[in-house]
Amino acid sequence: MLILRSSKSISDRLLEVVRAYRGGTFRAVYTVRLANAVYVLHVFQKKSKSGIETPQSDMQLVRQRLQEAERMAKERK
């Protein structure tokens, strides 16, 4: 099953794709609202067996990459 949802815990501009595959859960976090481009910020396999929260280390990496994508989008204008 493929799930698309907003990733508001980081930013209301982010979308998250969640896919269950062969007993694992995989996530891709991306944004679609930057200067005619889609930036894939992070893709990872969720390994936690309990809870649905994304690990803080993954969230921090997405935040850093979002800032970099915003900077790159400004330079493209």
Taking the C-alpha atoms of residue 15 and residue 17, their distance in angstroms, rounded to an integer, is: 7
pLDDT 10s digits, 20-40: 888 888 888 877 778 788 888
Mean pLDDT of 11-19: 80
Radius of gyration over every alpha carbon of the chain, rounded to an integer in angstroms: 13
| Full-model pTM | 0.75
pLDDT 10s digits, 47-68: 766 566 777 888 889 889 989 9
Q: Which of the pair, 9 or 46, is modelled with greater confidence?
A: 46
